[in-house]
Amino acid sequence: MTVRGSGGPKVLLELVAALTLAAACGRGEAPADLVFRGGAIYTVDAARPSAEAVAVRDGRIVFVGDAAGAADWIGADTEVVELAGRLLLPGFHDTHVHPVSGGVELGECDLNPASSIEDVERIIQACVAREPDAPWLRGGGFQLPLFPDGAPSKELLDRLVPDRPAFVTSADGHTGWANSRALALAGVTRATADPPPDGVIVRDAAGEPQGTLRERAMDLVGRRMPPYNHVQTRAGLERALEMAASFGLTTLHEASAGEAYLRAYQAAESAGTLTARVIVALATDPDKGAAQVTDLVALRDRFRGTLVRPSAVKIFADGVIEGGTAALLEPYLDRPGFRGELRWPPEELAAMVAALDQAGFAAHIHAIGDRAIRVSLDAIEAARRSRGRAGGPRHILAHIQLFDPADIPRLQGLDVVASFQPLWAYADTYITELTEPRLGPARSRWLYPIRSVVETGAVVAGGSDWSVTTMNPLPAIEVGIRRRDPDEDDGQAWIPEEQVDLETMIRLYTMGGATAGGLDAETGSITSGKAADLVVLDRNLFEIPPHEVGDARVVLTVFGGRVVFRRDAGR
Ligand SMILES: [Zn+2]
pLDDT in tens, 67-101: 999 999 999 999 999 999 899 999 999 999 999 99
- The rounded Å distance from CA 127 to ligand 1 centre is 25
**Measured distance CA(119)–CA(418) in Å, rounded:** 36
Mean pLDDT, the chain cut into blocks of 10 residues (571 residues total):
40 40 52 96 97 98 96 95 95 98 91 95 96 92 93 97 96 93 96 91 96 95 92 96 98 97 98 98 94 97 98 96 93 95 96 97 98 98 86 94 98 97 94 94 98 98 93 98 93 96 98 97 98 98 97 98 88 53
Computed from CA positions of residues 172, 174, 180, 185, in that sequence, does the dihedral angle turn out positive or negative?
A: positive
Decide: helix, strand or coil at residue 565. strand
**What angle (nearest 5°) sits at the alpha carbon of residue 105, between those of residues 100 and 108?**
140
**Measured distance CA(258)–CA(281) in Å, rounded:** 9
- The rounded Å distance from CA 528 to ligand 1 centre is 33
Alpha helix segments (H runs only) across 509-563: 511-516
List of residues 6+ apart from 439 with CB closer than 8 A: 321, 328, 332, 333, 402, 447
**Measured distance CA(418)–CA(411) in Å, rounded:** 7
**Measured distance CA(192)–CA(208) in Å, rounded:** 10
Side chain identity at residue 516, one-letter code: A
pLDDT at site 105: 86
- The rounded Å distance from CA 539 to ligand 1 centre is 30
Find out whether 283 and 252 touch, Cβ atoms under 8 Å. Answer: no
- The rounded Å distance from CA 322 to ligand 1 centre is 15
- The rounded Å distance from CA 123 to ligand 1 centre is 24
- The rounded Å distance from CA 524 to ligand 1 centre is 22
pLDDT at site 571: 53
pLDDT at site 5: 40
**Measured distance CA(437)–CA(150) in Å, rounded:** 14
pLDDT in tens, 163-184: 999 999 998 888 999 999 999 9
- The rounded Å distance from CA 96 to ligand 1 centre is 6
